[in-house]
Amino acid sequence: MTSRLIYLPLGGAGEIGMNAYVYGYGPKDAERLIVVDLGVTFPDMDGTPGVDLILPDISWLEERKAMIDGIFITHAHEDHVGAVGHYWERLGAPVYARKFTANIAARKLEEHGHPDGVLTVVGPYPETRDVGPFKVSFVPISHSIPESSGLIIDTPEGRVIHSGDFKIDKTPVVGEAFDESLWAEIAKDGVKALVCDSTNIFFKAEGRSEASIAGEVEELMRDAPGMVVATTFASNIARLKTLAVAADKAGRSVCLLGRAMRRMVEAATETGLLKDFPSMVSPEDAQNIPREHLLLLVTGSQGERRAASAQLANGKYLGLTMKEGDTFLFSSKTIPGNERGVIRIMNQFSEMGVDVVEDDTRYHVSGHANRPDLERMHEIIQPQILVPMHGEHRHLREHVKIGNSKGLTGIVAVNGMMIDLSGNAPTVAEYIETGRTYLDGTVQIGALDGIVRERIKMALNGHVIVTLIVDENDEPLGEPWVEVVGLAETGTSNAALVEVLEEDLGQFLMRAEGKTLRDDVKLEKELRSIARRTTQAEIGKKPEVAVIVSRLG
Amino acid sequence: MTSRLIYLPLGGAGEIGMNAYVYGYGPKDAERLIVVDLGVTFPDMDGTPGVDLILPDISWLEERKAMIDGIFITHAHEDHVGAVGHYWERLGAPVYARKFTANIAARKLEEHGHPDGVLTVVGPYPETRDVGPFKVSFVPISHSIPESSGLIIDTPEGRVIHSGDFKIDKTPVVGEAFDESLWAEIAKDGVKALVCDSTNIFFKAEGRSEASIAGEVEELMRDAPGMVVATTFASNIARLKTLAVAADKAGRSVCLLGRAMRRMVEAATETGLLKDFPSMVSPEDAQNIPREHLLLLVTGSQGERRAASAQLANGKYLGLTMKEGDTFLFSSKTIPGNERGVIRIMNQFSEMGVDVVEDDTRYHVSGHANRPDLERMHEIIQPQILVPMHGEHRHLREHVKIGNSKGLTGIVAVNGMMIDLSGNAPTVAEYIETGRTYLDGTVQIGALDGIVRERIKMALNGHVIVTLIVDENDEPLGEPWVEVVGLAETGTSNAALVEVLEEDLGQFLMRAEGKTLRDDVKLEKELRSIARRTTQAEIGKKPEVAVIVSRLG
């Protein structure tokens, strides 16, 4: 039987976040598999209230556990590594990553009590791992976290380049620069497929280097009259360095606030990446430093409610407070969907008299390649096939269009589309059922289980609880009892809603026939329907209704 | 007793939306009052799930109903006129507006069954209304809806200019241009206070005219290969005209989809504003027109779930469908907080092969004055006092700072801050309790009533219902019964969550003392606490719990 090379995104293609890609090689339905990245995405009140974390549905992989030869993590962002702890047991394969990424992954595996030895630290290319039919190397590539890597995946069908998240940055402040000649060398014998980051495909200007903002940041640190508090993604070690070095030059001591940031700096220190980083002071010591000589680096660039930025916006945090004349700098970009949270803290700071600086061109550069940079990457790699990933549908589609316009063959492959890369042109081999898994409390539930949907419905419509006792003779014992949660107390008839409900339900029961009273399903259906109708008439809302009939019989 | 001139924002100062401003003149606590604007703001899933509309809390005004001499509506945007129907009865004063605004307001008053004669149509300045101690005129000012007006409010303490929402547009396509010499004339004898729009204070470039986008829009209409569907705010009659005229020039018939848009065009037609507007075709006729000769103007620029844009994104709407080669144009800007909805439909269109054009500089101009335009307005009016309004705290604060830098006296006055404008400098006279009222179904509830909070808690935590029957001897009759809504079915012990709960609650009841079983409050508290503890242990969530104890005694 002939073998084939397949690519299957389980997450990250058709969305930004929750990356999980599968490559396979072998006879149809008996391919040996590797997984690239196992990330998470984050819940929101709109669609996933109360959910703790969103993970890709890996049922397809789990059913093929024995076929998985390895899990490769390109870098330590949560949308690439966040599910490793939750899922390792279900996949059971060795995990490969570079040193810094492995440091972060190890913490996650540890939290879930997984054994040591799961994790293999791999050095950069030309170091190569043979896993099943694949030879895989990590090629340093610039991004907004240290030691990001693109992968070379050599297969019997040819070389695949999985770009990982990347930008073209020749002066990245921390870590390895984008090395154009290295990539050209890697691509020189031909590349079967480039599976490529699409995040910034709609940005038409050439991307800017991390080093380019240092001057502006330094000026701000020098000119700000009071304390400066700056936020960025905790994992953006280069940015932390840019900010800290600027502060140092402006005579400011640096203090770090926020668990995620401390953890990242710890990992960067342990792996030897934090060279020439100014020394830091503790929050306790910071309290004794004149505010014009202080920079706080804090978590919460997306307005997260529990992060250090929000704590400072609410008042005191670890003994530190902001006040009139201080400056709060967003050295970050607000991710679509997070605007409300960010605006909330901006206004809280405004009320304190704090000047908020939010300018994502002067004090921030993106970690992803813009359109011209992606085009440059296409030119360097010159792949036979372009497969955009790490994007919503519109990003993937635009990326293919741009590839096509330069003569590349491309395919929009969204989660669940298994692509056969074996031939000269990519074909859709199969559609796999994919989806999302929610971590809800300590339990994993399916996105389509309806559990979260029930919660959303209660949030929109309120909840009415009807209880009724039926005696041994199938006669109602007393009146039905009603409680309401999340609904107005009184409506049009100016009596308490619960009383109107009890009255209407009582009336119905008085007239109800024996066969209705004997039939739980029928009885509950009728009571529910009356409860909804009455609530609608009273307050104009159709609530969720729970009916509980207790039979003494 | 000496009289004073007061200004009191009840909504719109400290937020963008829900505008409601009060001016008063007279002896302290016996001022005659006028209201400027009565707007609404819109709910979201984050903070107000299930709420239909958010209105300012007007309790303070209602208590002074007899003192209100008039309600003036500056323009017909929902955040200025949306509460008129809901609140008119509680305030009972005559409503003044210009013709187009009155047309919209009349529909709202009618919907609520308010009497004719409530509404007085006022012509533009120099027409003036004497209401109590005030003389008020509507001065045409450019904005993104026809007949927007700033108000001259002449008081015994001097002239107040209430800018309303505005931009400086000398070629506004529909309606009146910003007339600099008119405003200079109005201001020439001195202005006590300029109460001024702050929405775009953070935009540093000079604002652009509505006319400036016509060329780009025309080019798009000409070059697009298939059908063009364009969305903008329904009330932006000038934009509808810009789009329709461009379509007409490009040989496209124009078809309008969406109730809000039809209503606005109807109002504009009735009031004689829609001159030189290309004739339109019905959705039925549109089906027979070749798609390259068609422009659909549709509602839903903010990705609203039920608007025409979302319906088209979901498939068919009124017999019309979009397909590969068509273009969807956002001639609008996404309001912060609405990104998710907009991105959702963008991706749906992408899946259909529709090209989405979203570029808020080429195909959209804002309806609000940018910073240089606001500075120009300050220069023209040269007020004694600058009072920023229509902004979040950060906008108001920035506006005052900019005024100060040019030598103006300004004050940040947020909702509930009553400002005494009588003296040479503004002072805070009093803090009034203000807030938000929710229209929830057909009922008005207070934002702090806790009703919506209960719904949010159920959405985050799920709901457990415990029912128990206690017999005449205060002994549990049978086992407790548990139902769960919005929670995982099984947890750590691999048994059904409801069964584990019933087991734990049953265990407790077997050991419970008589005095606990006799005491409803104590019993419910214990059962709730066990239900929470067990759920937490099983699935890691602390649910909301309703306990219903039925006593046969």
Q: Point out the domain boundary residue: B301, B330, B360.
A: B360
Look at residue A188 and tell me whether its pLDDT is greater than 80.
yes
Distance CA A537, CA A503 (A): 14
Q: In the prediction, which pLDDT does A275 show? A: 83
In a domain, B135, yes or no: yes
Q: Identity (one letter) of the amino acid at A258?
A: G
Both B322 and B188 in one domain: the answer is no
In a domain, B437, yes or no: yes
Contact assignment for B336 to A336 by CB distance below 8 Å? no
For residue B538, give how far its alpha carbon lies from the nearest alpha carbon of chain A (Å): 8
Both B348 and B370 in one domain: the answer is no
Model confidence pLDDT, tens digit, residues B194-219: 999 999 999 999 999 999 999 999 99
CB atoms within 10 A of CB A433: 8
pLDDT band at A183 (very low <50, low <70, confident <90, very high): very high
Look at residue B553 and tell me whether its pLDDT is greater than 90.
no
Distance CA A11, CA A15 (A): 8
For residue A466, give how far its alpha carbon lies from the nearest alpha carbon of chain B (Å): 10
pLDDT band at B356 (very low <50, low <70, confident <90, very high): very high
The residue whose two tokens read 């329709």 is B244
For residue B417, give how far its alpha carbon lies from the nearest alpha carbon of chain A (Å): 14
In a domain, B453, yes or no: no
Both A391 and A261 in one domain: the answer is no
In a domain, A452, yes or no: no
pLDDT band at A553 (very low <50, low <70, confident <90, very high): confident
pLDDT band at B275 (very low <50, low <70, confident <90, very high): confident
Which residues span the domain enclosing A479? Answer: 462-551
Both A190 and A280 in one domain: the answer is no
Both A199 and A52 in one domain: the answer is yes
Judge whether A477 is closer than 8 Å to chain B, CB to CB: yes
Contact assignment for B442 to A350 by CB distance below 8 Å? no
Q: In the prediction, which pLDDT does B424 show? A: 87
Both A33 and A182 in one domain: the answer is yes
Domains: count for chain A: 3
pLDDT band at A276 (very low <50, low <70, confident <90, very high): confident
CA angle B243, B246, B248 (to 5 degrees): 110
Contact assignment for B459 to A336 by CB distance below 8 Å? no
Model confidence pLDDT, tens digit, residues A247-261: 999 999 999 999 999
CA angle B475, B479, B482 (to 5 degrees): 125
Mean pLDDT of B518-530: 97
Look at residue A1 and tell me whether its pLDDT is greater than 90.
no
Both B374 and B349 in one domain: the answer is no
Burial of residue A215, with CB atoms counted within 10 A of its CB: 0-12 exposed, 13-18 middle, 19 or more buried: exposed
Judge whether A260 is closer than 8 Å to chain B, CB to CB: no
Distance CA A212, CA B471 (A): 77
The dihedral of CA A315, A321, A323, A327: what is its sign?
negative
Model confidence pLDDT, tens digit, residues B216-248: 999 999 999 999 999 999 999 999 999 999 999
Q: In the prediction, which pLDDT does A360 show? A: 80
pLDDT band at A411 (very low <50, low <70, confident <90, very high): very high
Are the C-beta atoms of residues A485 and B546 closer than 8 Å to each other? yes
For residue B201, the domain's CATH number is 3.60.15.10
Residue of A nearest to B535 (CA): A441
In B280-364, DSSP assigns E strands to: 280-281, 294-298, 327-330, 355-358
Both A220 and A74 in one domain: the answer is no
Q: Point out the domain boundary residue: B315, B334, B360.
A: B360
Are the C-beta atoms of residues A62 and A87 closer than 8 Å to each other? no
Mean pLDDT of B33-43: 97
Tokens at residue B312, please? 């088209």
Judge whether A9 is closer than 8 Å to chain B, CB to CB: no
Both B278 and B343 in one domain: the answer is yes
pLDDT band at B287 (very low <50, low <70, confident <90, very high): very high
Judge whether B471 is closer than 8 Å to chain A, CB to CB: no
Both A354 and A371 in one domain: the answer is no
Mean pLDDT of B344-352: 97
Judge whether B339 is closer than 8 Å to chain A, CB to CB: yes
Judge whether B450 is closer than 8 Å to chain A, CB to CB: no
Both B166 and B236 in one domain: the answer is no
Looking at every residue in chain A, the average pLDDT score rounds to 96
Q: Identity (one letter) of the amino acid at B208?
A: R
In a domain, B379, yes or no: yes
**How does DSSP assign A331-347, residue by residue?**
-S-PPTT-HHHHHHHHH
Q: In the prediction, which pLDDT does A359 show? A: 84
Judge whether A486 is closer than 8 Å to chain B, CB to CB: yes
For residue B273, the domain's CATH number is 3.40.50.10710
Burial of residue A181, with CB atoms counted within 10 A of its CB: 0-12 exposed, 13-18 middle, 19 or more buried: exposed
Q: In the prediction, which pLDDT does B116 show? A: 80
Evaluate whether ipTM surpasses 0.90.
Answer: yes
Judge whether B359 is closer than 8 Å to chain A, CB to CB: no
Judge whether B49 is closer than 8 Å to chain A, CB to CB: yes
In a domain, B455, yes or no: no
Burial of residue B276, with CB atoms counted within 10 A of its CB: 0-12 exposed, 13-18 middle, 19 or more buried: exposed
Are the C-beta atoms of residues A169 and A200 closer than 8 Å to each other? no
Are the C-beta atoms of residues A418 and A429 closer than 8 Å to each other? yes
Nearest to A393 among B337, B351, B441 (CB): B351
Taking alpha carbons only, the member of B440, B467, B459 closest to residue B451 is: B440
Q: Point out the domain boundary residue: A336, A360, A384.
A: A360
Mean pLDDT of B325-330: 98
Looking at every residue in chain B, the average pLDDT score rounds to 96
Look at residue B115 and tell me whether its pLDDT is greater than 90.
no
Mean pLDDT of B101-121: 93
Look at residue A500 and tell me whether its pLDDT is greater than 80.
yes
Who's near A428: CB < 8 A, 6+ residues apart?
A411, A413, A417, A418, A419, A420
Both A97 and A234 in one domain: the answer is no
Nearest to A336 among B50, B339, B441 (CB): B339
CA atoms within 13 A on the CB side of A493: 14
Residue of A nearest to B490 (CA): A443
Judge whether B225 is closer than 8 Å to chain A, CB to CB: no
Who's near B230: CB < 8 A, 6+ residues apart?
B243, B295, B296, B297, B298, B328, B329, B330, B331
Burial of residue A67, with CB atoms counted within 10 A of its CB: 0-12 exposed, 13-18 middle, 19 or more buried: middle
Q: Indicate the pTM of the whole model.
A: 0.95
Judge whether A184 is closer than 8 Å to chain B, CB to CB: no
Contact assignment for A392 to B347 by CB distance below 8 Å? yes
Strand ordering across the sheet containing B436-440: B53-56, B436-440, B443-446
Residues from chain B that touch A393, judged by Cβ atoms under 8 A, are 347, 350-351
Contact assignment for B458 to A461 by CB distance below 8 Å? no
In a domain, A271, yes or no: yes
For residue B529, the domain's CATH number is 3.10.20.580
Contact assignment for A445 to B488 by CB distance below 8 Å? yes
% chain B with pLDDT above 90: 96
